[in-house]
Amino acid sequence: MSDTDLGTLYVVATPIGNLEDMSPRAARLLGEVALVAAEDTRHTSRLLRHLGLSVPMLSLHEHNEAARVEQLDERLQRGESIALVSDAGTPLISDPGFVLVRELRARGRHIVPVPGPCALVAALCAAGLPTDRFLFQGFLPARTGARRQRLEGLVTHQETLVFYESPHRIRDTLVDIGAVFGERRLVLARELTKSFETFLDGSAPALLVRMEADPDQARGEFVVMVAGAEARESSDSASLEADAVIEALLAEGVGVKQAAAVAARLLGGAKKVWYGRAQALKETR
């Protein structure tokens, strides 16, 4: 069978809230494919009904994705095209699909992106934070200790930091952001493209106060954006000396936490800042 006889996997972006954001191309392709691989078939069935479509569906989520590869590849080899969708937005962006796309691409299958809504892009373009460079971290760890450790490793980054967060963890996440980043500027985007779309701007402690005063502000799915660290005189000799001290400690087998403590004692400054710098240096070694 030639490549032209094989089916195509279309990676189709769907609305994150407002159904008017569905592109004509995406809607057309959903009606033309032989199968829709959906994160949650119940959720996607509502979208298909809205579009007036009746298309066979198959679930594909984080727990069964690897097991679905052969099944879906067999259909592509029979010449059937498939649409991959997530519950909302662009598949693979903190959603299932990576394993499938990686395996099919390794086999030489035809994979076509059908771009459209993406929560992190929608949030960034209206947040008023720098977008020339940003670092997307998906969902932060659920446990406080692991979450703070991740945040501490990011505290010296000068890029805008972007996270996704759920309503039942947003307060705990703001507490940890406040503990690590202090009064640094933060923008929360919630309920994007929906009736109650809101952008909240301020420090993490200030936004926590606002949520306590108005619990409705803690509802919905969130995109959390944190301003990057201010550019310091980090290119001067003092910064190079500090990095050299940390590098020497790491080279001697000293752990990141201990290296940060030593740097703080010798050079001054907050231990959590040195922890982030030591972690970054360790990752680049």
**One domain, residues 127 and 204:** yes
Residue 142 confidence (pLDDT): 95
What confidence category does residue 116 fall into, taking pLDDT thresholds of 50, 70 and 90? very high
Please identify which residue in the block is written with the tokens 């990686």: 102
Query: Are residues 169 and 88 both part of a single domain?
Result: no
Radius of gyration from C-alpha coordinates of the chain: 23
Query: Would residue 191 count as lying in a domain?
Result: yes
Q: How far apart are CA 245 and CA 51, in angstroms?
A: 61
CATH number at residue 162: 3.30.950.10
pLDDT of residue 253: 84
Domain check: are 220 and 202 in the same one?
yes
Instruction: Name the residue with higher pLDDT: 244 or 235.
Output: 244
- Residue 146 within any structural domain of the chain: yes
- Do 211 and 251 share a structural domain? no
CA–CA dist 181, 161 (Å, integer): 12
pLDDT tens, position by position, 2-29: 567 899 999 999 999 999 999 999 999 9
The answer to whether residue 232 is domain-embedded is no
Domain boundary residue among 56, 84, 117? 117
Query: Do 68 and 151 share a domain, yes or no?
Result: no
**127 and 90: one domain?**
no
Q: Is residue 101 part of a domain?
A: yes
Range from 40-49, 152-161, 182-191, 261-270 carrying the lowest mean pLDDT:
261-270
Would you say residue 14 lies in a domain?
A: yes
CA–CA distances in Å: residue 105 to residues 7, 84, 97, 99, 108:
13, 14, 12, 10, 5
When divided into structural domains, the chain yields a total of 3
Average pLDDT, the chain: 92
124 and 109, same domain (yes or no): no
Strand partners, 113: 11
> Does residue 231 lie within any of the structural domains?
no
Q: How many angstroms separate the CA atoms of 107 and 3, rounded? A: 11
pLDDT 10s digits, 162-218: 999 999 999 999 999 999 999 999 999 999 999 999 999 999 999 999 999 999 999
224-240: average pLDDT: 72
pLDDT beyond 70 at 240:
no
End position of a domain, from candidates 176, 192, 226: 226
Domain match, 215 and 271 both: no
In a domain, 8, yes or no: yes
Nearby residues of 115 by Cβ (< 8 Å), 6 or more positions away: 13, 90
Residue linked to tokens 């982030």: 276
Answer with the residue of higher pLDDT: 215 or 238: 215
Which of residues 1 and 27 earns the better pLDDT score? 27
- Same-domain pairing of 162 and 214: yes
- Average pLDDT of span 92-121: 97
CA angle 197, 146, 124 (to 5 degrees): 30
Of the residues 117, 145, 176, the one at which a domain ends: 117
User: Given this model, what pLDDT does residue 259 score?
Assistant: 84
Kindly state the average pLDDT of the residues 35-40. 97
- pLDDT, residue 232, reads 62
Residues 96 and 138 in one domain: no
| pTM for the full predicted model | 0.79
| Residue 154: φ, ψ to 5° | -110, -5
**Cβ–Cβ under 8 Å, residues 51 and 30:** yes
Report the pLDDT value the prediction gives residue 233, as an integer from 0 to 100. Answer: 43
Same-domain check for residues 98 and 148: no
Given a cut of 70, is residue 237 above it in pLDDT?
no
In a domain, 44, yes or no: yes
CA distances (Å), origin 175, targets 42, 66, 140, 211, 240: 35, 36, 13, 12, 32
Are 14 and 70 in a shared domain?
yes
Q: Which domain holds residue 111?
A: 3-117
